Amino acid sequence: MLACRVQSCRKFGRHQCGAATMRLLLAGMLLVAVPCVALAQPPAAPDDKKPADWFEVPADAAAMAPRFKTETMGMLRDGTVTNPAVFDAYWKAFFAQLTHWSKRESLSEMRLKYFKDVLRNKNNDAQRHLVNDLALPTLKKIVQNRKFSPLVRYNALLMLGDLNSTEPDARGLGAKALPAALPVLAEFLDVKKYPVGDTNDALRVAALVGIQGHVDRGGLAEDQVRLIRPKLEALAKQQKPPQGRDPEVHGFMQARAQSVFSALERGAAGRGAAVR
């Protein structure tokens, strides 16, 4: 895999990583489990101080106490938010910690184990409140705010792509992606809004992963297909990398776009005809 040639980067401030290192390390470390030592972020050294340009949201430490977590998980399991103050405080503190320097090496675990897996088989009012009223607006603010590290924004984009209106059952089946998350993901395929560059290309990879998740879960409305189809098609057919993008990185992005576009077309054909 091309990302395996990348050397680990010890700093993740807005300007700390080199060009190829930033975009490929982000893609490899958070996208999939890559069996490559070069992609593993080394443990923080005692003197590994937070970069001056690292921006984070303060978290209410009290809201992460075991009592808050136990009560919140109980409400999520039972389906009703009987104590909104506790429920909201816990999740707001959780999302705030996603921006913290001290949590940078735990982002994938927080995204998967402590959020995505927690929501599995939870289709109730508590899940809908968490996803629609807390997760969606918070993650949207993070991905669109350039003050945050690319690493933080990349992880938040992956979380956006994972949001569901219907969670999968215990076997992992039946999930339906959250429609309101798709326009945010699609923004990052717009090179006018997010010009070609190291950071934006890394974020584009995360957006492509999220869009593929929406396509794979199926059930896209025609307006959703119209939103993403031209953007995917343009990238899928762009043989020559634009100025400022490494050819190998462009090939990786193009292949991903081609895969998602093909899946989109197959789904549209299954409904009768490709939606143009």
pLDDT per residue as tens digits for the range 241-255: 999 998 988 998 999
Q: Is residue 174 part of a domain?
A: yes
Distances (CA, A) of 88 to 28, 41, 82, 92, 103: 32, 32, 11, 6, 20
In which residue are the tokens 């190829």 written?
20
Q: pTM of the full predicted structure?
A: 0.85
Would you say residue 133 lies in a domain? yes
The yes-or-no verdict on residue 14 having pLDDT over 50 is no
Distance, CA of 119 to CA of 123 (rounded, Å): 8
**Within-domain flag for 244:** yes
Q: Quick one: 167 exposed, middle or buried, by C-beta within 10 A (0-12, 13-18, 19+)?
A: buried
Q: Is residue 224 part of a domain?
A: yes
Residue 275, domain member (yes or no): no
32: left (phi over 0), alpha (psi -120 to 50) or beta: beta
* Structure confidence at residue 268 as a pLDDT band (50, 70, 90): low
Q: Summarize the confidence of residues 96-125 as an average pLDDT.
A: 96
Q: Where are the strands (E) in the chain, listed by range?
A: 164-166, 176-177
- Give the domain range for residue 205: 2-43+51-270
